[in-house]
Amino acid sequence: MGEPFVGTEAIACGLLTKSQLETRYIRLFRGIYIDRDAELTAAVRAKAGWLWTGRRGVVAGFSAAGLHASSWVDDRRAVELIHDNHHCATAGIQLHRDTVEADEIEMIGGVAVTSPTRTALDLGCWYPTTTAVAGIDALAAVTEVKAADVELLARRYPGRRGITGARRAMELFDAGAQSPKESWLRVVLIEAGLPRPQTQIEVLDEFGCVFAYLDMGWNDVKVAVEYDGEQHRSDRRQYTWDIRRRELLERRGWVLVRVVAGDRPGDIVRRVRSARASRGPGWPGAGPPKPG
């Protein structure tokens, strides 16, 4: 069985014997089993957690995001559930006491899951800004999450703990992020007071064809900021293309600020401010002075 199941139910239905259950399957949570060779993804673990509640809980938070096909959900993360029985907590399960209404729940593969809008609100309430924004970025990339819908839902819970942080996260999210590090980098720039950058900027070559997408930046001053992951240095082909790509971007008038692991936020902000300042009134692409 590639999906998690309740062991006693499988035995009662005659699908398995107790011996088969104990020798051919592994236990994920008390009473919940799965085939030994099954891949234990975040979505699979979320389903198992829901079964563990006796089908009475609601999958929430990052676990809900995983069931909505969101990226960046760690398969090892504890399953998040909204469930009122806090006396049966177990390892690998994180229970939340929050109220959830019927119209905030969807069924995915027979499992009760918070809707994308409610999931975004929960992430904003439960997690620090950067973590929440990264989670909402990924969720928004695969669903129709809208800030206005989350704000409307937030009005149901005016005194909810974390609601102020959730509203801030909704102001910052952007479905264009391609990794948690890009989300983090964008938040660093905005919270430093820089203008909100556009994400996934198309850059055209001399023939009008797209040859690059920039992580984030400002088209008006042609300054881009990109996060370079480990593959940019360890993959020779990627490294070679990065050099060629940078040359092409510079020919098109772009200044590229590259950020790597270990760079400090303060240093990043200073570099970006310097790059933007270099595009002052004397810059050829600045155009005529603005009136006033």
Average pLDDT over residues 6-29: 94
Give pLDDT, residue 222. 96
CA angle (2, 3, 4) in 5-degree steps: 125
Whether the per-residue pLDDT at 134 is higher than 90: the answer is yes
Give pLDDT, residue 292. 38
Contact 70, 139 (CB under 8 A): yes
Give pLDDT, residue 85. 76
Whether the per-residue pLDDT at 111 is higher than 90: the answer is yes
Whether the per-residue pLDDT at 285 is higher than 80: the answer is no
Average pLDDT over residues 110-116: 98
Give Cα separations from 67 to 100, 221, 274 (angstroms). Answer: 18, 40, 42
Confidence of residue 237 (pLDDT cuts 50, 70, 90): confident
Q: What is the pTM of this model?
A: 0.89
Whether the per-residue pLDDT at 280 is higher than 80: the answer is no
170 strand-pairing partners: none
CA contacts within 13 A on the Cβ side of 94: 11
Kindly report the average pLDDT of the chain as a whole number.
Answer: 91
User: Helix 129-142 crosses helix 180-191 at what angle (to 10 degrees)?
Assistant: 120
Confidence of residue 230 (pLDDT cuts 50, 70, 90): low
CA angle (42, 59, 164) in 5-degree steps: 105
Domains and CATH numbers, the chain: 39-172 (no CATH), 180-282 (3.40.960)
Confidence of residue 145 (pLDDT cuts 50, 70, 90): very high
In this predicted model, what pLDDT tens digit does every residue of 248-275 receive, in sequence order?
899 899 999 999 999 999 999 999 999 9
Q: Which residues contact 112 (CB under 8 A, 6 or more apart)?
A: 50, 55, 57, 58, 59, 105, 106
User: Does residue 238 or residue 129 have the better pLDDT?
Assistant: 129
Out of 28-37, 45-54, 79-88, 140-149, which region has the weakest mean confidence (pLDDT)?
A: 79-88
Confidence of residue 229 (pLDDT cuts 50, 70, 90): confident
Whether the per-residue pLDDT at 121 is higher than 90: the answer is yes
In this predicted model, what pLDDT tens digit does every residue of 176-194 receive, in sequence order?
999 999 999 999 999 999 9
